[in-house]
A = this chain, B = another copy of it.
C-alpha cells in the first residue's frame, strides 16, 4: 500500500531537514554567527536599513527579541544602530562593511551548496524533483502554513 512509501518519503524529508539544519548551524558558527542572528542579517540584506520594529515584523518575532539580536550583532561588528532621520523614537539598523561582506560571502556559499545538491543531476530528475518540491510546499501552504505566520485576518 501507498502508506508505507509515503512514510518512507516523509522520513527522507525529515532527514533532509535535520541534515540541512545541522550544516547551516555549523558553518554559521564558524563566522561567529548564530542561526537567529543570521536570519536577521539575511532579512536586512533584502530590505536595506530598517527599524527594529520592521525587523521584528519581518522575522515574526517580538520587538524585545530583536533588541537582543541586534545587541549581539552590534557587539560583534556586523551592524550598526543609528538614529532614524525623522522618527526620534526609532533606530535604523544597517550593515557595517564587514557585515555586508559576510552576507555577500554567504550568498556565494549558498550557490556552492545548490551545486552540491543539484550539480550534474540529470535534467529529468531535477525537473521532477523541483516540481515535486513545489507541490508539497503548496500543499503545506494550502493547509494554512506560512513562513511569516504573524498575520491575523482582521
Contact = CB atoms under 8 A, between A and B. Distances in A.
Given A12-B130, A20-B14, A118 B147 contact: no
A12 B138 CA distance: 10
Contact of A116 (B114, B116, B129, B139): B139
Interface string A110-154: 110111111101001110111111111101110101010100000
The count of identical subunits is 2
Given A8-B130, A126-B5, A16 B136 contact: yes
A81 to B, nearest CB: 27
Contact residue range for chain A? 35 or more
A16 B137 contact: yes
B119 A6 contact: yes
B23 A145 contact: yes
Interface of A: 2-3, 5-10, 12-23, 110-111, 113-119, 121, 124-126, 128-137, 139-141, 143, 145, 147, 149
